[in-house]
Chain A
Amino acid sequence: MSRILVVDDEKNIRLVVGKSLEKSGFDVHYAVDGVEAVDQANKCNPDLVLLDLRLPKMNGFLVLEALKGDTPTEDIPVIILSALSDEDDVQRAISLGAEDFLVKPISQSDLLAAVEANIRTEESKNTKEEENEEEENNEE
């Protein structure tokens, strides 16, 4: 069972996103701030991180930087799920290594599609990029 770490300070987001993912058969873990996110990522070694950018204690960019800059976590795909949608923010996140950038609000189907596309599986570890392209095409 794939493990997903949902990082968001908003309780309701954690609830709906978590529920939605659980219904789709994922093992969902949670973190409420940046520090906890890095902590959890190291502890539970998720196959995907859904990361909010505006977080207490340590913002999403710093979390992303920490995850991608640390060997044990650098391979974990990170999907940003944020209310921020400025070009600058997107660019920054992508350049820091984020796999995808989802802007809130997002529909359940779009979220699941992005998760499916990016989640780390045994097979996808090597052919991730090709799959990405296929999934994107399927989205429309």
Chain B
Amino acid sequence: MKIKTLKGKMLLGFAVMIIIIAGVVGWSIYNFEILSSAINDIMVENYRSITASDSMVEAIERQDSALLLLIRAPEDRGQEIFRRNEKEFYTWLARAEDNITIEGEGEILSRINDNYLNFVSSFDNFYNAPAGTNETGERWEIYNEELLPTFTEIKNDIRELREINRQEMVNAQQNADSRANQAIIYTIVLALMVIIFSLIFAIYLTKQILRPIKELEKGIKKVADRNFQQKVEVASEDEIGVLADEFNEMISKLQEYEKLNVKKLLMEKEKSEAVVNNLSSPLIVTDQDHKIVLINEAAKELFSIKQDVIDTHFLEVIQAEEIFEYIKNPNAKEKNTFKLKTNDKKRHYRISTNQVIDDAEEYQFTVTLLEDITRLKEIDNMKSEFVSTVSHEFRTPLTSMNMGLSMVINEDTGELNEEQRELLEAAYEDVERLTELVNDLLDLSKIESGKIEMEFDKVDINDIIEKTLNPFYKQAEEKEIELEFKQSEDNIFAWADPSKISWVISNLVGNALRYADEGKIGVSAEVKGRRVLVSVADNGPGIPKEYQSKIFDKFVRAGNDKDEKSGTGLGLAISKEIITAHNGRIWVDSEEGEGSTFSFYIPRFGYQEEDNE
């Protein structure tokens, strides 16, 4: 029979113990029983024999007394006593004979019986003989010769009987003593055996019950360590076995889930790896210690990396201090292009670094992307080249147009009538505009291509503004516009190229004058921390919101621009290039109908960054 449940196992264990204890108790009771009955039997029988012996002695002594009585007087009373005690004697003798328990007892009893028969038959002789006086007479003789020796013999025999019975009782007591001792020893031994057996059994049972629990525990530990491979092996079919089965079921579910998850993760990983690797731009991901976490094929190719470089310091793998600077201080520098010579080919890259911040807002990785902008650079150069060429090509015909027209208008070639003059002047005006446009285009392309070098110096911005505004006062007066320079403090020193900044201010003031019909133009300069801020404010028509962000682009003009006032559309673009080259910023605040304020800042002298040179 196989017990399947834990409860059953425990009950079985207890049942076995109870049975054993019951056995021991039973056995002890049995021993006591045997002991007591043995004592009882022997005691009772021997006691009976002794009682019988005593009674027989008593009877025969009474008979003896009766005999002595009868020696002197032949009374019937003596005979009556004799007969009554004879009866008594036989009764006790019969009882003693019924109770023969000891070896030799029977012989003694048969001898007593025989002697007593002689004694009784001698009595008949005695009784028939006449009574005498004291120590004479036939009765006396018979008594002395026959009855007394028989009586003595019988009495001795009875004493012997009593003695052996007494002896037997002593023996029985000793026997019981030794039996009791034996029983005590047996009981102790048995109890010890039972205790040991119980202990062993209890340990075995506990182990038997605990072993699967241990297995289960191990299994749970493994699962906690995310080892879903091994199942818990519990052979038992009890509650723990069921639990183990359920546990295994859970593990396999977990394993499936894990597999699914791992699969998903792997897929995601492969996906992102594929994306990263197929990215044509080199990409490097570094951790907080600037060790490479991820590098794509394009980056490996660019830096001719063949070996595995994961977990190696960036500089150990890529000897490019320039790039490392960006990784160390992302967003530190505005200029973020650099040249790299690979396979004897110069390539231009734009570097962008991005810090990946985790949920805890802690910086984890830096993603560095190198964008190959060689082609863009080429196109840009080509464009600049093109613009430059075209502009140059425009210049020569413009010269002949300009000079030819001016000669005709100046009447060097003869007089003109009003109509001719008007038409020719219109043509001349447009030639001038075209000239201006070409010049602006050339300036812009030069600045953009970096051909114009900034000549930075310590300059007093107040001086520059004053000099720049000089030619505009007359123009403003003509248009009845108040042009005012609000000087906030003396000697505002900036780090700038004076001619370029002058150009920007002149462009801004020129624009303001061009668009305003009346009112006021205020120019101001002030120190703002590390910077110098210059503003040109007008109360002209203002710039619609949608144009404000675009007016610094090339050829963009605000929507309310009127034809006759249009400039080349390049002035602000050039201004922006110039200010950007100063590491500054230019912007506009404007409300339609309220006027516009153009502002720019450039570094204050002493606060310029070193790479401005």
Contacts and interface: CB of A to CB of B under 8 A. Distances in A.
B393 A83 contact: yes
B341 interface: no
B397 to A, nearest CB: 7
Contacts of A12: 396-397, 400, 404
Interface residues of A, number: 23
B319 to A, nearest CB: 35
A108 B410 contact: yes
A126 B399 CA distance: 32
B556 interface: no
Contacts of B431: 105
A44 interface: no
A108 B432 CA distance: 13
Contacts of A127: none
Contact of A16 (B391, B393, B407, B451): B407
B403 interface: yes
A107 B400 CA distance: 9
Interface stretch (A27-35, A56-64, A84-92, A93-101): A84-92
Interface residues of B, number: 26
B452 interface: yes
A107 B393 contact: no
Given A23-B412, A83-B393, A84-B392, A16 B403 contact: yes
A114 interface: no
A103 interface: yes
Among B403, B435, B446, B451, find the residue whose CB has the most chain A CB atoms closer than 10 A: B403
Nearest to A24: B412
A84 B398 CA distance: 14
B57 interface: no
A105 B406 contact: no
A104 B442 contact: no
Nearest to B398: A105
Interface in A1-31: 10, 12-13, 15-17, 19-20, 23
A13 B393 CA distance: 13
A20 B392 CA distance: 22
Contacts of B398: 104-105
A20 B407 contact: yes
A104 B446 contact: no
A86 B407 contact: no
B554 interface: no
B399 A16 contact: yes
B396 A13 contact: yes
A87 B497 CA distance: 15
Nearest to B410: A108
B8 to A, nearest CB: 106
A107 B406 contact: yes
A41 interface: no
B403 to A, nearest CB: 4
B166 interface: no
Contacts of A17: 399, 403
A10 B98 CA distance: 179
Contacts of A113: none
A86 B403 contact: no
Nearest to A14: B400
A10 B406 contact: no
Contacts of B401: 105
Contacts, number: 69
A105 B435 contact: yes
Interface in B379-404: 391-393, 395-404
Main secondary structure of the interface of B (DSSP, over half): helix
A81 B395 CA distance: 11
A107 B395 contact: no
A104 B412 contact: no
Contacts of B413: 19
Contacts of A49: none
Contacts of A83: 391-393, 395-396, 399
Nearest to B453: A87
Contact of B399 (A19, A23, A106): A106
Contacts of A86: 446, 451
Contacts of B403: 16-17, 20, 105-108, 111
A87 B452 contact: yes
Nearest to B401: A105
Contacts of B402: 105-108
Among B402, B442, B446, find the residue whose CB has the most chain A CB atoms closer than 10 A: B402
B391 to A, nearest CB: 8
Contacts of A81: 399
A12 B402 CA distance: 11
Contacts of A84: 392
Nearest to B404: A16
Interface in B400-458: 400-404, 406-407, 410, 412-413, 431, 435, 438, 442, 446, 451-453
Contacts of A23: 407, 412
Contacts of A16: 399-400, 403-404, 407
Contacts of B397: 12
Contact of B400 (A15, A87, A109): A15
A1 to B, nearest CB: 18
A35 to B, nearest CB: 20
B394 to A, nearest CB: 8
A108 B451 contact: no
A105 B395 contact: yes
A19 B400 CA distance: 11
A7 B398 CA distance: 17
Among B395, B396, B438, find the residue whose CB has the most chain A CB atoms closer than 10 A: B396
B449 to A, nearest CB: 11
B399 A104 contact: yes
A64 to B, nearest CB: 19
B396 A104 contact: yes
10 contacts: A10-B396, A12-B396, A12-B404, A16-B400, A19-B407, A83-B392, A85-B442, A104-B396, A107-B406, A108-B402
Considering the complex of A and B, which 10 residue pairs feature the smallest CB-CB distances, nearest first? A83-B395, A105-B398, A12-B400, A105-B399, A104-B395, A16-B403, A83-B392, A104-B399, A16-B404, A108-B406
Given A19-B407, A105-B396, A106-B402, 9 more contacts: A13-B400, A19-B404, A19-B413, A20-B403, A23-B407, A87-B453, A104-B399, A105-B395, A105-B398
